[in-house]
Amino acid sequence: MTVSLRRLGGGLLVLLAGGLLLGACASGPVDVQTAEAVPLRLDRSDPEPLLRSVLFGYTEAGDPFDGGLVSGDGTDLTLHPQRLGADVRARLDDANGDGALDWDELAVFLEATYAEAHDLPPTLADAGLEAIADSAWFTVEVDGVMTSARRQIHVPLSALHSAMEAFAETGDLDYPAGTWIVGAHVVDGETVETTAKRRRADGFWDFAVYDAEGRLAPATETEPRSLRVPTQCTGCHLGQKLYEPEKSYPAPAADGPFGPRAIYVPEAVRSAEATALFQEHARRSDGVLGLYATVHAGALIAARDAGTISDADAALLDALGL
């Protein structure tokens, strides 16, 4: 390789192989199958929570930072592919050849490996969610931006009460590990798919979609768009954007481009006091977008006003200052 040196003023201009060498050459493709370290360029302002959420379970330690799969802090993060098994690592690819992994490249890897790494039950029956006992579950129906189907959301009452009790003590809704929150997508009276999320001990949620037969699926299929697991789940649940109809509650929300946006509860349940207390959708301290604590507290307030509340539920409202 020919190198020429030219003196300009008091400095040197270095020409290397017909190109200008400015400290370092541009990086080229990286073989992620053999590389010990690959930069992550995810174009996220705070990528650490995102990686802790989606890369959990890929090493024995669970957490990707504790397991040595990811190192660094802030936005300066590095993936260490050799911490992955060969079969899993084979799904990684520096597709655009820029010497790093961006979010689109990582998303392809996650969509191929997430279900196994997170040990998602292959069917609703395996998850114990095939038949939900109404008396043990809080249920609310919602039309929103996620799908044009009517969503029937089910939350275990025991877990919801536990989260509300935690809020009374700490100011954060904190669902117990192992809690499932289930959303049946209903069209013409039939469940066409089911979304579900399971609380982990580290405070994040595992996400899953099940098809009409209750089998694990890679994405939703209802209009207006398919949403893939986990990449498009985490985009909303770990983000800060506000959505309707939760944004306007307790006031009604305007219809959207794909139909109504509404939380279907009686007017007596729409408590401005409970909404202001939890600020559930905006604070998102539980990583949950729905207003489950807010709506349930409103229902308990209505029951108290009607004289039908139980002693335990009245005590919960007292603890919350409602």
Tens-digit pLDDT profile for the chain (322 aa)? Answer: 333 334 334 443 333 333 333 333 346 899 999 999 999 999 988 999 999 999 999 999 999 999 999 999 999 999 999 999 999 999 999 999 999 999 999 999 999 999 999 999 999 999 999 888 788 999 999 999 999 999 999 999 999 999 999 999 999 999 999 999 999 999 999 999 999 999 999 999 999 999 999 999 999 999 999 999 999 999 888 888 999 999 999 999 999 998 999 999 999 999 999 999 999 999 988 889 999 999 999 999 999 999 999 999 999 999 999 9
91 exposure class (CB count in 10 Å sphere: 0-12, 13-18, 19+)? middle
Cβ pair 151, 184 in contact under 8 A: yes
**Which backbone phi and psi does 268 adopt, to 5 degrees?**
-65, -20
pLDDT, residue 282, reads 94
pLDDT, residue 93, reads 96
pLDDT, residue 97, reads 95
pLDDT, residue 287, reads 86
Q: Which of 138, 148, 144, 87 shows the shortest CA–CA distance to 116?
A: 87
Q: Which of 232, 50, 197, 220 shows the shortest CA–CA distance to 118?
A: 197
pLDDT, residue 27, reads 62
pLDDT, residue 134, reads 83
pLDDT, residue 14, reads 37
pLDDT, residue 25, reads 38
Cis previous bond, 224, omega within 30? yes
pLDDT, residue 1, reads 39
311 exposure class (CB count in 10 Å sphere: 0-12, 13-18, 19+)? exposed
pLDDT, residue 247, reads 96
